[in-house]
Amino acid sequence: MPPAITYIDSPDELAAFCKAIGSSPWIAVDTEFVRDKTYYPKFCLLQIANGSRAACIDPLAIEDLREVEALLFNRAITKVFHAARQDLEIFFHRFQAVPAPIFDTQLAAPLVGHPEQIGYASLVSATLGVTVDKEHTRTDWTQRPLSAAQKEYAANDVIHLAALYPKIREQLDRLGRCSWLADDFAALENPGLYVNRPEDAWERIGGLERLKPDQFALAVRLAAWRENTAQQNDLPRNWILRDEALLEIALRKPRTRDALQALRGIDSRAVQRYGDAVIALVQTPDDGRAAPPQPRRVQRRSAQTEAVLDAMSALVRLRCIEHTINPAVVASRRDLEEALESPDSAKVLQGWRRALAGNDIRAFLEEKAILRMRGGELTLNGRD
């Protein structure tokens, strides 16, 4: 029988609930937020369950969340999420820190036979045989009062998650794969994941590889200005300037309001509000500081490189056969290309993928291991 749902909108109720579940070894956690009209997510609801209790906590009604903070940052309690990153961003902005330790069912699911980045509803259906109600997916969670149906919808997210966690954890333990996820979960605790530095904002913009160096330098300045402006005014960055408009400005370098207004994709309100700042950026001379590396144009790979990728793919398949894991979960063709081009950041060389196949890929690329046939089977360096 599912636990009863408590709706908490007073400090006394919150204190009583946090005390009641404070000795739990783990809790399932979810949030509801809105960011359609803001840069930062607006924290609207917090759901917590431990298998026997479940609550929806209203942060719009309760200003002091120290009881929740103590619960979330108690390292004796594992915090279970599905696709944790957005929820953790909420907590980072609210508490200036990231809860730990973390268990993310979306990251764990591929290690017990599910597709990579499986959605919450699909995982609940596959594991529990329960169909998740999607009626309130588009709810405006800032509105009060919430209906009984909205509260039930929100609470069910953590009630199902609390039922999922022991099952997935048991499967991981049986397969001996819990330790594989340690690096991935620890990475989620890095506060740097939740800080958008204006100087790095250009990295989220596609199409920069087709710009000339001076145009690229201007795009970097424009992206940093837009990010700063969005943060300071708590507005979506695309409300300041859309990506396609930013690229057009970098290409054309308009030096007057009329020239700016004539560009494709430029909103007249944006010209009115931000035109002078944009033109000033266009006219700003290069200050001589080292520019970030410009993205490279995609080059056609040589036949030799394709052959190396084929060998890497064969190595991944070899390891996946041993561990009965779908190779697509471990490394796509693009992931293997990244291992060739940028090994320090390649996904297949990080976390559990590194232990499963990444270390062997690195050894193969460094000519410390050899793929060969033995007894009609593919082996690595004769060790298999």
Q: What is the mean pLDDT of residues 364-381?
A: 85
pLDDT at residue 255 tops 90:
yes
- Lowest average pLDDT, out of 73-77, 124-128, 274-278, 304-308, goes to 304-308
189 and 222 co-located in one domain: no
Q: Coil, helix or strand for 280?
A: helix
255 and 326 co-located in one domain: no
Give 202-218 pLDDT, tens digit per residue.
999 999 999 999 999 99
Q: With respect to residue 139, please indicate whether it lies within any of the assigned structural domains.
A: yes
Q: With respect to residue 297, please indicate whether it lies within any of the assigned structural domains.
A: no
Q: With respect to residue 60, please indicate whether it lies within any of the assigned structural domains.
A: yes
pLDDT at residue 382 tops 80:
no
Residue 96 CB partners (closer than 8 Å, separation 6+): none
CATH number of the domain enclosing 24:
3.30.420.10
CA distance 347 to 351: 8
pLDDT at residue 155 tops 80:
yes
CA distance 302 to 308: 10
164 and 255 co-located in one domain: no
**Could you please report the per-residue DSSP string of 98-132?**
--SSEEEHHHHGGGGTPPTT--HHHHHHHHH--PP
Q: With respect to residue 229, please indicate whether it lies within any of the assigned structural domains.
A: yes
CA distance 224 to 219: 9
Q: Mean pLDDT in the chain?
A: 92
140 and 239 co-located in one domain: no
187 and 40 co-located in one domain: yes
Q: Coil, helix or strand for 241?
A: coil
CATH number of the domain enclosing 365:
1.10.150.80
CA distance 14 to 7: 9
**At what angle are helices 303-323 and 333-341 packed, to 10 degrees?**
120
167 and 39 co-located in one domain: yes
More confident residue, 271 or 3: 271
Band (pLDDT 50/70/90 cuts) for residue 384 is: very low
Q: With respect to residue 290, please indicate whether it lies within any of the assigned structural domains.
A: no
Tally of domains within the chain: 3
187 and 219 co-located in one domain: no
92 and 148 co-located in one domain: yes
- Lowest average pLDDT, out of 293-302, 347-356, 369-378, goes to 293-302
Q: With respect to residue 289, please indicate whether it lies within any of the assigned structural domains.
A: no
This model's pTM is above 0.75: yes
Last residue of a domain, one of 169, 194, 219: 194
Q: What is the structure's pLDDT at 208?
A: 93
Q: What is the structure's pLDDT at 287?
A: 64
Last residue of a domain, one of 283, 315, 344: 283
307 and 233 co-located in one domain: no
Peptide bond into 254 cis (omega under 30): no
pLDDT at residue 172 tops 90:
yes
Q: With respect to residue 291, please indicate whether it lies within any of the assigned structural domains.
A: no
Q: Coil, helix or strand for 374?
A: strand
Q: With respect to residue 298, please indicate whether it lies within any of the assigned structural domains.
A: no
CA distance 261 to 247: 14
- Give residue 369's domain range: 303-380
CA distance 256 to 215: 17
17 and 73 co-located in one domain: yes
86 and 133 co-located in one domain: yes
Q: What is the structure's pLDDT at 134?
A: 81
Please report which residue ranges of the chain form alpha helices under DSSP H: 11-21, 66-72, 85-95, 105-108, 120-128, 148-175, 182-187, 213-233, 237-240, 243-252, 257-261, 268-283, 303-323, 327-330, 333-341, 351-353, 359-365
Q: What is the mean pLDDT of residues 328-354?
A: 90
Q: Which of 280, 277, 263 is nearest to 229 (CA)?
A: 277
CA distance 253 to 243: 15
258 and 351 co-located in one domain: no
Last residue of a domain, one of 141, 164, 194: 194
